[in-house]
Each structure stands twice: as C-alpha cells, then as structure tokens.
C-alpha cells in the first residue's frame, strides 16, 4: 500500500532564524539553500509472538524473524524493529519451561527496539515484568531476565501516584528525522491477567492517553508518531473496522491525527488497512495506515516513510505484510539460541506422564485463517470441550482432600488451555502424553485456589460466561464457556434475559441449593476475577493451596493413566433448553411438551456426537429427537441442536417432575423439570335399575347400580342417600356393578339419591331414583295398580 501525504504539523527552523538575526542579515539576502534529499525510514513490526521460537510451517521461528530484520535493516539502516505486545507468555514449551529466557535472548539478538506492553507480559504480574523481564541478566540473581528493548504503555499508570508504570513513549533519532512511538495495552487488561498481579496499576483510556502523548512527541520534535497498541480488529475486512462498534473501532476513529500509523495486535489477525483522517483534509492523501502482522512470527508489517528532513513533512508512506517463512535467511546466533533451548526442552519435557485413550480437544468453530484469509476451523473459547472439563476435574481431584479444601466442584477458563492434548505420534490410541505436551496445554503455572461459594454465587459465575467487563461493556470475546468438573451439570436458556439464563444446576444428581455453601476450586487467575468472572472474587475462605495446575495434571496422570489409558469423557455438562414463549406454566397428562435443545455436541475434531437424544419420564421412553451437530461460526456454545416434542402419558405423576434427556453415544444426561397438574378425571355414567318402582309400605326395594367410565372400569363404592342420610352402600365389583337395598318407607313418593364416590381417575357422580310407596288401604283395596 502506498500513501503520500505531508504531516499536519510542520517543523520550525528555529536555529536558522537565530543565526541570521545574530549576523544582522535578513533572510531575503541569503541565497536559497538546496533542498535536502528525503530520509527513508523503515518500521518493521511484529505482534503476538508468544515465544514461538521454533519454525513450524507458517511460523518462521525466531532465527528467521531475526534474519529478516537484520537483512532489511542492512538494506536501510534507518530502521526500527517494533512490536505490539505479547512477545512472551503463553509460549511453546521450549521457551515456557525456561521462563521465556530463549525468547528474550532471541529478540535481543534480532534487535527489537520497542514494544507495547501486552496482557501476557503481565501474566506473572507487574513486579515480574519490571524486576525479572526488564532487569539486567545476572546468572545468579536474575538468570531469566535481560530484555533490552523498551516497553511502552501510555495508558498504564501507577494507581497510587498516577505516574507512568512504564514509559509512555519512546523516540528513535535518525539525525534529521525523529520517529516517536506511543504504547498502549488493551483496556480489558484487568480481565485478562490475575488482578492481584496488577493491583498497583490503573488502566486508562487508550484514546485519551495516546492523544496526549502524541501531542507531546510532536512538540518534542518527532516527525512521525506511531501508536503500538495491544488491541486489534476482530476481522481482516478493512471496511468494517471503523464501524464495528467495539474498542478498536474507537481507536481507529478517535486517535489524534498527530498519530501517523497504528500498529496493532492482540486478536492475532493479519491486515494492512488505511482509513481517512478528517483533520488531514486538503493534504495530498488523507489516510492513516492501520496494520497487524498476525501471530507467532509468521509475518512482519513493513512501513516505509519518506520524510523531508528540513520540514519534517512525510512525503509518502508505503506499507506491506512480509511473509517470513522461506523468504529470509536464519540468523546464525539465534539459530544457536533456539537449538540450545530445544535441547534443554527435550530433556525437561521428555518424561512420559501416562497414556490417553483418545484426543482431548478444545472447542472449535469456523473462522478466518490469520495467515491465508481462508475459512478454517479455529479455537472457540465459547464452546464446552473435553479438555476443559478434564482439566477442571483434575483441579477438583487435586484439592479434594480436607487439608486442600475438600473441593466438590472446579471450574477452568478456556483461555488457560493453549493446545489440544493429542499424545505422541499420529498412530492409533492409546498414545503417550509427555511432560512437554502437558506443559504446552497449560503454560501459565497458575496455583490452585479453594474457596466457598453458595449456590447463588455459583449461578452468578455461570451467568458471567456471557461477558461484561468492569465498565459494563461487552468485550471482544463476548462469551467464555467454563470447563466444569465431573458430577456438576447445569441447564440454561439462551433466550432468557441477561443475568437470568441459568435454569438448573445439579451436583451428583442433587439440585444445587441457593443458600448451600460448596467447596470450589479454580486457578489463581480466576480466583481474583480474571476473564471477567468477578463472582469468584466474592468467595469466602479463599486460600491458595500452593498446588500448581501443571503439577496437579502430572499427578493425575500418574494416578489414573500410568497402568491403563485415560479415557475421554464426551458428555456435555451444560445444555441449553428453551421453551417457546407461549409454553404453559404446567402441563396436564396427555399434553404435548415442546422445547428446543442446544449445546448438545462438543466440537473438537475427534469429539463423539449423538445422532439423536432420547426423552424419558420415570424410566419410560416418550420419544426421540434428531440432533444437528453442524459446527458454525458462532462464538456461543449452541452446537448440537434438537427440537423435542413428546406427549405426557395419561398417568403422568402430578407435581414437579422431570423429563430426562440422554445421548447414547456421548453419555450426556440432563433433566428438564416440568410441572404436571392433576389428571382430569373422567365423567362417569350411573345407571340405576329398580325392579319395582311402586312398592308397598312394608317392602325394601332393590336398586341394581352400574357405573361406567370412558377410562375403563371404575372402582370405589356407591351409596343410597335419602334426605341427606345414607341408608345403604356397596362397593363396585370388577364389572362396575353394585346392589343397594332401601326402605321400608311411609306411603308417598320417595327420592333416593344414588351417589358414586369416584376414584383416582373418575369424578364423583349422583343420580336420583323415584319410588312410589302405597299405603295399606291401597294395598288391600287397590292392589298395586297405578
């Protein structure tokens, strides 16, 4: 990309004016000076290197990265090698196991000049950055430090004083041209690292602090100002960046026109864009470069400025993305650094921990390859995973003893898992897992913290999977699915309002009590509210067990995977259940129950899925529903959808009951509570057959009663009642028949009520039978004639 424009601010020729005045000579009498040749300044930039010191396909490795910088610097000595943060932390094993010392040494050798602070630079806290990473190397007192580049962050301040936590900016002086660099770290920092590690720091507005520092740099004489910001776009589509409505859009739109370029990172995408800046109106070209090199040393951003050394005007700028692998030589001294690190890593990491019976994957979704721009399956931190659930279970197991807290439940943040666990080789399972592989999965060395949380607080934790930062904004990752330990399950309704989506929680099949306290273990990052899970910080009795997450995994493998392979548990712990808006509060027996299911499927490349789920009630199958496990691009955990429609049996038990959903292949089992009303009782028909409806006063007539019901033969009894007084009763036989005797009566007409008492399935009912009773006179003289 080629952009030609002069800068808005002009350099003043103060020294020349002063010398003329002293000599008493006017400017008009001086011969015009020859215009100086423009100075070409080159900025090479990387971001999100994450200790990828070894070459790995598209990842060129530290030696080639250094070789590329050295070659390009030799071609133009006016070069700055800069970065947008996350150079260390979340590194591959060979660097991680040596506290990123190989990465520090490699970047020193590559001549890195300046970098923004990234969130991973603060994984171990501010004190570690200042007193280990940036402190001079010493074999005895600081064997893992010695970074020689300058870290900058204008928006990172000391909370107590407001002073800069690291320098806000840095200037490279090329003699006639000065290039200034402003640094900034993502405003989400408090959610991305352990809050306790940055308790002394305050993160301020990127835009406001950048604009103030850019003004200061221009006042100091900088001709070009570059923002190095550890924040970035969520897409490689340039056109959508300014309108995305997120923090990076604000940076693109609102950073001062004194900033000549924005070099970004954090989102691991490669892009080379430029956007108009209104205050540059009237200039030749009015667009500012906004670039990122992707991730892991795959590329370098190259920005080449042509600057008039007299006026400080930028006469043009060309930008591009340089792919490194196969295009540049490896720097010999860095090749040696990497080889030594790999050799040491091989020794430290070769120890076998045990075997696994299948691949343990992180969740994935369709996304954009940061290097090629093609649609590929990428990690999805919003999805439940077999790996996340296993690590949570490991941490519960490691702290289940009374002295460690007696953990009942554990949670694991998906961002703490940096690779899938696939074992050695590519043959059939079982495969061996080495220490190096386990450390690559969990490189942060967090300790395990045990605390007490009530059921209500656990619900709050789960609600916070739908993310809000401390200011209430939705961050760049709007949803993070926690891994959960064995025995803990929950349902949620994605259609419900934010903060009220969790609909049920169970531990070992028992409902979680709102006021009941539970022993919960998380890593030290989560324990103080990391990843915006602030409800963990409200736990009581929190104590650091001193157990390291990686060490816990090593111990777990020794216990459960040394003699036989550890098997993969494909069961979901979180399932979405959403009833339609017009669903009744309660169902009657015989009603149809309809709802949608989501999050029934894991999405890893080797994960088992169900073709259908079964719905049962009290062990009796009511029906099945097909499951669609198609993986999409959504960051939310909704893969594995089904539409359930079942009919309740006529004799479904009244009250709160539960439908059970099961998957045969995965073993997923979840309950869906519903309310069932008392079944509607059938209306019986009572037939009374009186052989004689005209009787003498001394007779006791017989009433033959038959009760019929549409739901089958009724049970219970029938009673003859005269003037509210029972006179006879009989229980129905198996044909629904009974026989009653009434009388004798006084002469006249008698009304006999035949009452059926009803049973579990049949309503009560009453019929009236009239009987005419003759007097003695009528009997003697009139017989029984009517």
Q: What SS3 string covers 680-716? A: CCECCEEEEECCCCEEECCCCCEEEEEEECCCCCCCC
- Predicted local distance difference test score (pLDDT) of residue 704: 95
Residue 672 CA to residue 593 CA, distance in Å, equals 11
Confidence of residue 783 (pLDDT cuts 50, 70, 90): low
pLDDT at 103 over 60: yes
- 8 Å CB contact between 97 and 439: yes
Specify the DSSP element, H or E, that contains 491.
Answer: strand 488-492
- 8 Å CB contact between 737 and 705: yes
- Predicted local distance difference test score (pLDDT) of residue 27: 34
The proportion of the chain whose per-residue pLDDT surpasses 70, expressed as a percent, equals 94
Mean pLDDT of 44-60: 93
Assign 216 to helix, strand or coil: helix
Residue 398 CA to residue 547 CA, distance in Å, equals 8
- Which of 48, 495, 531 has its CA nearest to residue 266? 48
Mean pLDDT of 536-562: 90
Assign 480 to helix, strand or coil: coil
Mean pLDDT of 550-575: 95
The proportion of the chain whose per-residue pLDDT surpasses 90, expressed as a percent, equals 79
Q: How far is CA 512 from CA 111, 207, 444, 459, 520, in A?
A: 56, 45, 31, 9, 13
Least confident of 149-158, 190-199, 294-303, 561-570: 190-199
- 8 Å CB contact between 768 and 752: yes
- Predicted local distance difference test score (pLDDT) of residue 31: 42
Counting beta carbons within 10 angstroms of the beta carbon of residue 748, is it exposed (0 to 12), middle (13 to 18) or buried (19 or more)?
A: exposed
Q: What is the pLDDT of residues 660-680, one digit of tens each?
A: 999 999 999 999 999 999 877
Q: What is the pLDDT of residues 90-102, one digit of tens each?
A: 888 899 889 999 9
Q: What is the pLDDT of residues 615-648, one digit of tens each?
A: 999 999 999 999 999 999 999 999 999 999 999 9
Q: Which domains does the chain have, with CATH numbers?
A: 2-7+40-341 (3.60.21.10), 351-560 (3.90.780.10), 574-676 (2.60.40), 685-782 (2.60.40.10)
Mean pLDDT of 512-539: 95
pLDDT at 773 over 60: yes
Q: How far is CA 1 from CA 76, 266, 301, in A?
A: 19, 23, 11
- 8 Å CB contact between 153 and 116: yes
pLDDT at 785 over 80: no
pLDDT at 326 over 80: yes
Residue 66 CA to residue 188 CA, distance in Å, equals 31
Confidence of residue 403 (pLDDT cuts 50, 70, 90): confident
Q: How far is CA 513 from CA 287, 458, 504, 508, in A?
A: 59, 10, 10, 13
- Predicted local distance difference test score (pLDDT) of residue 647: 97
Confidence of residue 281 (pLDDT cuts 50, 70, 90): low
Q: What are phi and psi of 565, to 5 degrees?
A: -70, 140
pLDDT at 262 over 50: yes
- Predicted local distance difference test score (pLDDT) of residue 63: 98
Q: What is the pLDDT of residues 682-731, one digit of tens each?
A: 899 999 998 877 888 888 999 999 999 987 889 999 999 999 999 999 99
Mean pLDDT of 73-85: 98
pLDDT at 23 over 80: no
pLDDT at 6 over 80: no
What angle is formed at CA 122 by the lines to CA 152 and CA 85, rounded to 5 degrees? 45
Q: Higher confidence at residue 678 or residue 186?
A: 186
pLDDT at 323 over 80: yes
- 8 Å CB contact between 315 and 308: yes
In 106-189, beta strands by DSSP E: 114-116, 150-152, 156-158, 169-173, 178-185
- Predicted local distance difference test score (pLDDT) of residue 565: 97
- 8 Å CB contact between 39 and 309: yes
- Predicted local distance difference test score (pLDDT) of residue 548: 83
- Predicted local distance difference test score (pLDDT) of residue 15: 30
Q: What is the pLDDT of residues 467-500, one digit of tens each?
A: 999 889 999 899 999 999 999 999 999 999 999 9
Helix then strand then coil, in percent of the chain rounded to 5, is 25, 35, 45
pLDDT at 286 over 80: no
Say if strands 201-203 and 409-412 run parallel, antiparallel, or are unpaired: unpaired
Q: How far is CA 499 from CA 416, 476, 528, 579, in A?
A: 24, 19, 20, 18
Q: What is the pLDDT of residues 332-359, one digit of tens each?
A: 999 999 999 999 999 989 999 999 999 9
Mean pLDDT of 371-398: 95
- Predicted local distance difference test score (pLDDT) of residue 451: 96
Q: What is the DSSP string of 60-128?
A: --HHHHHHHHHHHHHH-SSEEEEE-S--SSS--HHHHTTTTHHHHHHHHHHT--EEEPPGGGGTT-HHH
Mean pLDDT of 584-594: 95
- Predicted local distance difference test score (pLDDT) of residue 761: 82
- Which of 89, 192, 195, 90 has its CA nearest to residue 542? 195
- Predicted local distance difference test score (pLDDT) of residue 780: 67
- Predicted local distance difference test score (pLDDT) of residue 283: 58
pTM: 0.64
pLDDT at 509 over 50: yes
- Predicted local distance difference test score (pLDDT) of residue 294: 94
- Predicted local distance difference test score (pLDDT) of residue 544: 81
pLDDT at 14 over 60: no
Give the mean pLDDT of the chain.
91
């Amino acid at each position: 990309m080629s952009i030609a424009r002069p800068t808005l601010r002009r350099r003043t020729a103060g020294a020349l004016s002063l010398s003329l005045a002293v000599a008493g000579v006017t400017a008009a009498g001086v011969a015009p000076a020859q215009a100086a040749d423009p100075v070409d300044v080159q900025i090479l930039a990387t971001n999100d290197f994450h200790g990828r010191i070894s070459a790995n396909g598209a990842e060129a490795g530290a030696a080639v990265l250094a070789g590329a910088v050295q070659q390009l610097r030799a071609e133009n000595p006016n070069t700055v090698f800069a970065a947008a943060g996350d150079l260390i932390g979340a590194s591959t094993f060979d660097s991680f196991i040596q506290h990123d010392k190989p990465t520090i040494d490699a970047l020193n050798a590559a001549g890195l000049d300046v970098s923004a602070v990234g969130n991973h630079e603060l994984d171990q806290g501010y004190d570690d950055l200042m007193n280990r990473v940036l402190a001079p190397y010493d074999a005895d007192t600081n064997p893992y430090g010695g970074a020689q580049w300058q870290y900058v962050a204008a928006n990172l301040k000391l909370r107590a004083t407001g002073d800069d936590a690291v320098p806000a900016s840095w200037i490279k002086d090329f003699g006639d041209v000065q290039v200034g660099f402003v640094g900034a770290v993502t405003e989400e920092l408090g959610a991305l690292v352990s809050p306790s590690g940055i308790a002394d720091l305050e993160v301020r507005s990127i835009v406001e602090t950048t604009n103030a520092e850019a003004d200061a740099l221009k006042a100091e004489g900088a001709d070009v100002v570059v923002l190095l910001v550890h924040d970035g776009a969520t897409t490689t589509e340039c056109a959508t960046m300014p309108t995305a409505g997120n923090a990076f859009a604000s940076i693109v739109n609102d950073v001062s026109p004194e900033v000549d370029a924005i070099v970004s990172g954090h989102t691991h995408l490669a892009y080379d864009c430029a956007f108009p800046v209104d205050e540059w109106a009237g200039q030749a070209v009015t667009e500012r470069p906004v670039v990122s090199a992707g991730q892991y040393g795959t590329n370098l951003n190259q920005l080449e400025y042509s600057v008039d050394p007299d006026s400080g005007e930028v006469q043009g700028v060309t930008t591009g993305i340089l792919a490194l692998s196969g295009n540049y030589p490896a720097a010999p001294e860095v090749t040696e650094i990497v080889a030594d690190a790999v050799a040491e890593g091989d020794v430290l990491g070769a120890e076998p921990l045990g075997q696994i019976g299948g691949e343990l994957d992180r969740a994935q979704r369709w996304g954009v390859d940061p290097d090629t721009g093609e649609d590929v399956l990428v990690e999805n931190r919003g999805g439940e995973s077999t790996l996340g659930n296993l690590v949570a279970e490991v941490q519960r197991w490691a702290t289940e003893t009374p002295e460690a807290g007696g953990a009942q439940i554990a949670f694991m943040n998906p961002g703490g898992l940096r690779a899938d666990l696939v074992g050695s080789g590519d043959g059939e399972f079982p495969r061996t897992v080495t220490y190096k592989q386990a450390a690559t999965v969990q490189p942060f060395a967090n300790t395990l913290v045990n605390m007490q949380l009530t059921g209500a607080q656990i619900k709050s934790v789960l609600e916070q999977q739908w993310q809000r930062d401390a200011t209430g904004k939705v961050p760049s990752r709007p949803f993070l699915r926690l891994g959960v330990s064995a025995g803990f399950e929950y349902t949620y309704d994605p259609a419900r309002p934010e903060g009220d989506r969790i609909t049920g929680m169970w531990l070992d099949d028992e409902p979680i009590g709102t006021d009941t306290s539970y022993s919960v273990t998380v890593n030290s990052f989560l324990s103080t509210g990391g990843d915006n899970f602030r409800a963990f910080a409200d736990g009581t009795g929190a104590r650091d067990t001193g157990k390291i997450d990686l060490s816990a995994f090593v111990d777990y493998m020794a216990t459960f995977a040394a003699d036989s392979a550890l098997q993969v548990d494909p069961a979901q712990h979180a399932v979405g259940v959403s009833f339609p808006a017009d669903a009744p509060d309660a169902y009657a027996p015989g009603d149809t129950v309809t709802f949608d299911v989501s999050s029934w499927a894991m999405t890893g490349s080797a994960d088992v899925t169900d073709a259908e789920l079964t719905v049962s009630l009290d062990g009796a199958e009511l029906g099945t529903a097909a499951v669609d496990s198609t993986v999409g691009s959504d960051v939310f955990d909704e893969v594995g959808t089904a539409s359930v429609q079942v009919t309740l049996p006529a004799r479904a038990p009244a009250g709160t009951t539960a439908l059970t959903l099961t998957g045969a292949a995965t073993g997923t089992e979840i309950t869906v509570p519903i309310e069932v009303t008392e079944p509607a009782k059938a209306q019986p028909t009572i037939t009374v057959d009186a052989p004689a409806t005209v009787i003498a006063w001394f007779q006791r007539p017989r009433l033959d009663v038959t009760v019929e019901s549409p739901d089958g033969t009724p049970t219970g009894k029938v009673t003859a009642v005269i003037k509210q007084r029972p006179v006879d009763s009989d229980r129905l036989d198996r044909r629904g028949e009974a026989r009653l005797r009434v009388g004798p009566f006084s002469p006249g007409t008698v009304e006999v009520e035949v009452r059926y008492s009803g049973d579990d399935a049949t309503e009560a009912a009453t019929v009236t039978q009239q009987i005419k009773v003759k007097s003695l006179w009528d009997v003697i003289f009139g017989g029984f004639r009517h």
